[in-house]
Chain A
Amino acid sequence: MAMSFNKAPGPGETRDCTDPWNFVIVRSNGDVSLCCRSEVVGNVKRTPLPEVLESDQAKELRRGVWTGKLNYDCLRCSERGVATIEDLRARVRRGVSDRAAEEIASLRSERHVLRQIRSELLKERAGLHGHVGAIEGERDQLGRHAATLESELASLRAHGEALEAELARLREHAKVLEAERPQLRGHIANLEGENAALKRHGEALEAELARLREHTKVLEAERPQLRGHIANLEGENAALKGHADTLERENSGLKGHARAMDSDARGLREHAQALEAEMRGVHGHAQALEAERPHLQGHIQNLEREVANLHARLEAKRNPIKRILGLAKPK
């Protein structure tokens, strides 16, 4: 069981509540109650709502609050406070009388107009928001421009002060120049003298220039002839270059031939050297043989003598035998 916390009406009092007249709740199952906590007075699934609201049960609930003879739900109501019966009845009368209904209808009509006005005002507000945004943008831009101008003004003031200082300095400089003027005049006279001398020098140079120009004309006149001569020389030069190239080529051939002949000569020289070396060997050998010849001839002679001796000896020996054998020839 739920517990409620409130204050119960005393004698002459009732619940300070006009819900039974003004309030309806249609539950999800179709039940209809005249406040969130009171009993059901009908069901819209079975009975149209206007009939439910004028049902005996609904009227009984109103009667209870009107008289202060509250049912249990109203007694334990935790939401509403307590009022005297008279006060409650006065409020109900204001709420349900025809005059009140007319006032309500009038107020509703007025409310409708006010809502239309409010809608227009909302649109206007939206427009003003845009305008304010533009003005704020412009203000920001002007603020930036003002800041730029301030900065420029400060800069110009500083420039003015700088110019004043420069003017004062120039005045001082002018005084110095005034003081220097006589000296400068003398200097100017010198410069003018120098200038006259330079003019004369210039005139001399002009004359020299004219002479050189004349000479240039002569040279210009000679130029075509020199050009023809140059062309001839260039032709000759080209022919000589051709001839030189031919000679170069022949030279190159001869050099090759010379290199071959050098090579052959080197071969022949080497062969000759070898022959000479061989000849020297043969000569040496011949000389050795010639040197050996007397010795050999002596040796031959010795040998011939030896042979003769031997022959003699042999004969000597032979003769006895032959004589023995009878073979000895008569001497």
Chain B
Amino acid sequence: MTSEVDEIPPEMLRARPRTIYVEMTSRCNLLCTYCPVSQPDYKGEDLLMEPEALADVLLRAQPDEVQLSGHGETTMLRDWTRVARLLLARGLPVTITSNFAKRFNDEEIDTLARFRAVKISVDTTDADLQFQLRRGLKLDKLTDNLDRLVAHCESNFIEKPFLHISCTITHLNMPLVPDLVRWTHARKAHALALVNLVRHPDIEGAVKILHPSEVDPQGAVRAIEEAQRIADELGVRFDMEPGLIDSLEVGQTWQ
């Protein structure tokens, strides 16, 4: 039985999609410890949809953002730039989340430079820890890609995409978040966002990760406060998922 409070006007049930994620592939070139892609029973696949048809679907929805990402790594696909350029040519506001793990060629860099926003997954400035958490990601290669992207925009007077550094928080990288703010600023990125960890079953042979609330929630809060202070000083936008703060304050666990 539905109460009056639970009544919902029909127009309030209508969708107004502003952000559409298109998972071009659910395969990935990394096996990050915290990602469901790394789980043994995970199987990835590529989106089988003609770019023109995809563009038509997206144009009808008129979103504010079309992100070419999901669980997988879009830049693994051989013709990802062709799809991206087609969507850009149709006037769609394209963004992407990428791990920047492979070295991009000049054409890929130029394509990324045309995006509205680029979100890059970077968990720490400690290259060894990064390699353990992301299982194969080399920080210097990622950095080189990012620096080349910024330099390409600057030298060609292209407005730089909004560069968003995305960091999934574990008990291992939490203390280094202030350093990551400085790194974000040094790389001329605009923002750093902390992502709350969903802990999947431990992976054999991989470093064991825990949620900060399981180890030192007060220390995590102090690190976040310090990171916020540095971000304010440097003019870096500092975001975090509200669920992260809630989890550190309340520590409610769900399985």
Contact = CB atoms under 8 A, between A and B. Distances in A.
Interface of A: 1-8, 16, 20-30, 36-37, 44, 48-50, 53-54, 58-59, 62-63, 66-67, 69, 75-82, 85, 89, 92-93, 95-98, 101, 118, 122-123, 125-126, 129
Contacts, number: 169
27 contacts: A1-B201, A3-B255, A6-B243, A6-B252, A7-B250, A7-B252, A21-B16, A22-B17, A22-B19, A23-B21, A24-B61, A25-B23, A26-B20, A27-B23, A29-B45, A50-B60, A53-B15, A62-B8, A62-B13, A66-B12, A67-B8, A76-B254, A78-B247, A81-B242, A81-B245, A89-B12, A122-B159
A231 B196 CA distance: 130
Interface residues of B, number: 58
Given A7-B249, A50-B60, A97-B11, A24 B159 contact: no
Contact of B5 (A53, A67, A77, A92): A67
Given A27-B23, A28-B72, A92 B12 contact: yes
A28 B15 contact: no
A329 B242 CA distance: 209
B164 interface: no
Nearest to B15: A53
B219 interface: no
B211 A5 contact: yes
Contacts of B254: 3-6, 8, 75-76
B14 A4 contact: no
B25 to A, nearest CB: 6
B71 to A, nearest CB: 8
Contact of B246 (A6, A36, A62, A96): A6
B247 A7 contact: yes
B12 A78 contact: no
A126 B155 CA distance: 10
Interface string B208-237: 000101100000000000000000000000
A20 to B, nearest CB: 8
B70 A28 contact: yes
Contact of B13 (A1, A22, A59): A59
Nearest to A115: B159
A125 B16 contact: no
B18 interface: yes
Contacts of B196: 5-6, 78-79
Contacts of A1: 201, 255
Contacts of A20: 15
B26 interface: yes
A34 to B, nearest CB: 8
Given A5-B213, A97-B11, A44 B57 contact: yes
Nearest to B254: A76
B200 interface: yes
Contact of B23 (A26, A49, A97): A26
B157 A126 contact: yes
Given A26-B23, A96-B11, 16 more contacts: A21-B16, A22-B17, A25-B21, A25-B22, A26-B21, A27-B23, A36-B21, A44-B57, A49-B61, A50-B60, A66-B12, A78-B247, A82-B246, A122-B157, A123-B157, A129-B157
Interface string B2-41: 0001101001111111111111111000000000100000
B198 A28 contact: no
B72 to A, nearest CB: 7
B46 interface: yes
Contacts of A23: 17-21
A288 B228 CA distance: 162
B197 interface: yes
Nearest to A54: B15
Contact of B197 (A5, A7, A82, A92): A5
Contacts of A8: 252, 254
